[in-house]
Structure 1
C-alpha cells in the first residue's frame, strides 16, 4: 500500500485522495473514448508526422522524457529515491510494482492483438485504419515488432505519475506533465498512433487508481481488526463530590 509522506517517518496513506472521485472515474473513460475517436485520424496524423518531421528541439525534448515511461528508467528512478529516503523505501517498491505491473497488463493486450507501428506501415498497402491491425496473437505468427496497441510506455508513465502524485501531491502536475510528454514522444517518433497513447493512458491510470484504492481498503480493514483485537484499558472513575473522593482516598490508604 502506498504511504503518503507527512511529519512522521512513515505515515499511512491519507484518507483524502489526491484526485477527486469524479476525476478518477472521468479520466480513463474520456481517454478510452478519445482513443476510439482517434481511430478516424490515426493514419492522417501518422502520415503527416512522417512527411513533416517535428523540429529538432521538440523531438529532443520528448525523447528525453522517455525514461519516465521505460521499465529500466522507472527502476533507476525509484531505486534512487529509495536510497535517498530509506525510511520510506516500501513506498517506492510498491510504486514500481504498480507501474511495471500496469506495463505487463498492456503487454498482454499488445501480444493478444497485433497492430503495425506507424514507422513500419506500408503506406501503399493501407486503405483504412483497419489495415493497421493484424489479428490475434501476432507473436505466434512471427510478427514480434507489430505490437503497437496500446502504448506500453504511456501506460507505465501514467501509472507512475498517479503513484508519485499520491506520495508527493504538490508535484502531481509535473508528474502528469511528464507522462503527457512521454505520450507525445511516442507519437512524434512514429512509434505509436494517437489512439495507442490515449488507450495506454487510460490503462495506466485505471491500474494505478485501482491498486491504490485496494491498498487503502486493506489498510482500513487491518486497522479495524487491530482496534477490535486490542484490549480496552479501564480508566478510573472521577467523582465530582470532594467528600466522597476524600473518603475513597482514606479507604485506599487504610
Structure 2
C-alpha cells in the first residue's frame, strides 16, 4: 500500500533514487581507476607489509575492524541492531542479507579469476604477471588463488552504502570504517591494493543498484509511528511540557 494512501509517513533510504546521480557513477569509476593505478605497485606494497614493519598498536587497531567485512561479523552486528531496535528489524535484516549477497557476487569473480594472495607469494617474485594464475583456478587445483577482488572489502563497502542510505548523517563514518577494512586486508597480506580498490568499487556498485529496486526500498522503510513506539521515553519527555502548558 502506498504510504500516502495509508496515512503513514515513512523513514527510509534517502539516497535510493531511480536515476543514477553523478556521485554514484564517479565513485566506482574512481575506485576502479585507482585499482588500475595500483597494479604496478602491488608487489612493492606487498613486500613492505610482509616485512612486518607496521607499529603494533596500528596493526591491532586495523585488525579489529576486519569483522565489519566478514559475513559472521555483519550478521552479529546487524542482528544485534535488529534486536535492540525492533521497529527497524526488517531494515537491518535486509541490509545484512544484501551485504552478504554482494559477497557472493565477489566469490563468482574469485572462482573465475585466479590470483595468488601476497602471503602465499614468494618474496622473490619479480613480475606482476606471477601473481595471476589464469582462469578458473579451482578447476586447476589452485585453491589458494582467491586474492582478486577482496571479498571483505566488497561486503564492508556494500554494508556501508546500504547503512548510509538509511543514516546519511553517518555516511562518512561508515565509509571510513569500510576503508579501514580495506586497508586491513592489505596490511595482513591477504590482498594487494588493486584487489581492495576493485572490491570497494564492486561493493559500492552492487549496493547502489540494489537500492534502486522498489521492492528493496519497501523493505528498508520504517513507519514513523513504529519508530516512535520503539522510543517511548522520547514521547514522555515531549508529553510533560505539553501537559504543563495545558
After TM superposition, the score normalised by the length of structure 2 is: 0.80
Q: 1:142 deviation in Å?
A: 2.2
Match of residue 236 from structure 1: none
Instruction: Answer with 1 or 2: which has the greater Rg.
Output: 1
Q: Which has the higher contact order (CA 8 A, sep 6+)?
A: 2
When residues 155 and 187 of structure 1 are mapped into structure 2, their CA distance, relative to the original with a 3 A threshold, is same
Equivalent position of 2:185 in the other structure: 186
Q: CA deviation at 1:12?
A: 4.4
Q: Which moved more, 1:193-202 or 1:78-87?
A: 78-87
Change (3 A) 1:162 1:84: same
Q: What residue number does 2:95 align with?
A: 95
How far residue 98 of structure 1 moved from its aligned partner, in angstroms, is 1.3
* Unaligned segments of structure 2, at least 5 residues: 1-7, 219-246
Q: What residue in structure 1 maps to residue 175 of structure 2?
A: 176
SS at match of 2:143: coil
User: Is 1:147 aligned to residue 146 of structure 2?
Assistant: yes
Whether the 8 Å contact between 1:9 and 1:87 is mirrored in structure 2 is: no
- RMSD across aligned positions (CA): 2.0
Aligned to 1:162: 161
Q: Secondary structure at the match of 1:122?
A: coil
Which aligned pairs between 1:61-80 and structure 2 lie closer than 5 A?
61-80=61-80
Query: Which residue does the alignment assign to 2:81?
Result: 81
SS of aligned partner of 1:114: strand
Q: What SS is found at the alignment partner of 2:191?
A: coil
Partner of 2:107: 107
